[in-house]
Structure 1
Amino acid sequence: MKTRIEASSDAVIAIVVTILVLEFKSPDTPDIHLVMENWRSFLVYIVSFFLIFTTWYDHYQLFKLSNKMTKNIFWANAFWLFFLSIIPFTTSFAGKFPAYRGASLLYLANIFLWVISYVYLTYCLAQSNPENAGKIKQIGFLNKQDLIIFIGGGLLSFFISWFIPIFTWVVLALASIFTLVFNRNGNARI
């Protein structure tokens, strides 16, 4: 079952990243200014891309440490993939209207629920694999400090983004940089 979950997850992630890039339409005429008009969409794409790939790497590490699979793990992973599969839609919407409150908040809500489902997946993996629970929790940001920062930061981001929609992109860009630079499992062998 473990290899089936990993393989299907890898396939869904690859499809999601492909759909993300397909949202970009090439101009009908050879004019670089037409390409530059999509710079906001490209920035939103970059944020989504790096959030997905840093989480994909950690997902791989979580499953590498986990030998026992349960129905709870299967469904936790399915919910994680569900919220992941919505990212191309919310990325496209937010890329077209980055200063629109509804688009920014919808994107932020999607990412927030995706991360919550990831934390729940981490919890399920740690419960079923107690011999590696400490390492699993570390990779999955499943400790009190990280959860307080994540939940508090998420709620604060929703509040500020309600009034200043562009704040969503500042927070998520910083979150992407944070996960790239401070990844606690950065030296793990693939």
Structure 2
Amino acid sequence: MKKGRLEAFTDAILAIILTIMILEFKTPESFQFSAIYSQIPYLISYAIGYLFIGVAWYNHHYMFAKTRWISRRVYWANNMWLFTTSFVPVATAWVGRGLNEQGPEIFYFIVFASWTAAYFFLSYQLVKANEKDHQPKAAAAIRSMVIYRYIANWKLDLLQGIVTVVALVYVPALQMVIVVLMIVFIGARFNKDSDHLID
């Protein structure tokens, strides 16, 4: 399968997801600047969601730029990843209405955990596709990504899960801090050659 079609489809879906997220922002009825204060929790949640998807897109582009051949498994893994990503606007909107409430934060945790599993499955399938296509350097490049190595380490995953559950029990809003730390220190640590990709 030509990867260009799958990349274009993915870009379109992610653009729609980002658009839906900003549409959840409610324009204040009042013309007083203070009227925006009620929207601050959603703005925080939206900013985190936007950063989340932006970093994910960059990593996705890197993996696909390294890959020449798309298998059926990669196609379906990509669809599964997009499916989990499509829940981000719902989780973002709900957390925006209750930044320190357990219900929305638990749902966000479920979405984030599902997204993480789907992302790893997609990455793994891309590694396998590159190995099958006799592209060991591409497979090694994907394996060397910080986010891939982190998610592949079940001990770190378990530790993060325990810390998040404790946060959800006592201070639910701390989960969003954990997500931001994950995005900045794990997801946004790109491979050095990511600035020199041709595709």
TM-score for both structures, normalised by structure 1: 0.91
1:59 Cα offset (Å): 0.1
Give the aligned partner of residue 15 of structure 2: 14
**Could you tell me which of 178, 188, 191 is aligned with 1:184?**
191
- 1:160 aligns to 2:154 (yes or no): no
> How many residues get paired?
190
Structure 1: stretches of 5+ with no match in the other structure: none
- 1:143 aligns to 2:144 (yes or no): no
Contact 1:42/1:95, CA 8 A, preserved across alignment: yes
- 1:101 aligns to 2:121 (yes or no): no
Query: 1:26-105 alignment to 2 at 5 Å?
Result: 26-105=27-106
Structure 2: stretches of 5+ with no match in the other structure: none
Give the distance between the partners of 1:126 and 1:86, measured in 2 at CA: 26
TM-score for both structures, normalised by structure 2: 0.87
Give the distance between the partners of 1:49 and 1:144, measured in 2 at CA: 21
Contact 1:58/1:140, CA 8 A, preserved across alignment: no
Give the aligned partner of residue 179 of structure 2: 172
